[in-house]
Copies of this chain bind each other. A is one copy, B any other.
Amino acid sequence: MQLRDAITTRRMVRRFDAEREVAGEVLQRIVELGPRAPSAGFSQGWDFVVLRGTERDAFWAASTDGGAPDAWLRGVSSAPVLIVCCSDRGAYLDRYAEPDKPWPDRSESHWPAPYWDVDTGMAAMLMLLGAVDEGLGALFFGVPVERLTAVREALAIPQDRGVVGVIALGYAESVAPSGSTRKVRRRPLSEVVHAGRFGDPWH
């Protein structure tokens, strides 16, 4: 698939065909795209925990409150594959304490942005595009903050890792409803892109 087509046709999918598995070689081609993202200092402070079949149960048990599933959860839990995207801040602090880098004190205060989360997000973006390329649908969603500790415990994720988000992956149900009842417009390019300085609109 052409890059531009993959980017412009990608949509978040919130309901999956639970009966249709994702073949191992398809999944392999998707996950191997993630680590192709750039990372500050080539720190590569990311990890991806892939859950299939019953492996998903521990995630859903830890990330929900056990009550009756709502429409969102019924849709997303039909995804046959989950990819939990973790960030490793310590890997960045370690990398930038090395002799060719400037911050031996490992202080987080040097960082203008949390690149451990940003770079992991970039890696997730590449896997989301890879899903489109394979004819799959995907959703990127966050774990409720009050469930983060339980999710880490359930999946043996070290407690110092960030859980940036989870990719739900599978074949889309033919009609994929929006996740929200409120329609939000796409901001026009003339508002999002500024020419020369903030506030000067792009042509």
Partner of A3, one of B1, B49, B98, B162: B1
A26-48 residues with Cβ-Cβ distance < 8 A to B are 29, 31-38, 40-42, 44, 46-48
Interface size on A, residues (CB 8 A): 88
With A49-B194, A142-B113, A155-B197 as known contacts, state yes or no: A186 contacts B100, CB within 8 Å.
no
Quickly give the copy total for this chain.
2
Is A202 a contact partner of B117 (Cβ separation < 8 A)? no
- CB neighbours (8 Å) of A98 from chain B are 182
Partner of A36, one of B7, B33, B118: B7
Most buried by B among A100, A148, A162, A193: A193
Which of A14-22, A119-127, A169-177 participates in binding chain B? A119-127
Is A194 a contact partner of B38 (Cβ separation < 8 A)? no
User: Chain B nearest CB: distance from A40 CB in Å?
Assistant: 7
Task: Enumerate 5 A-B pairs (CB-CB under 8 Å) in ascending A order.
Answer: A10-B36, A35-B189, A42-B180, A47-B193, A112-B148
A binding-site residues for B, Cβ under 8 Å: 1-4, 6-8, 10, 12, 29, 31-38, 40-42, 44, 46-52, 55, 58, 86-87, 95, 98-100, 109-115, 117-122, 124-126, 128-130, 132-133, 140, 142-145, 148, 155-158, 162-165, 180-182, 184, 186-187, 189, 192-199, 202
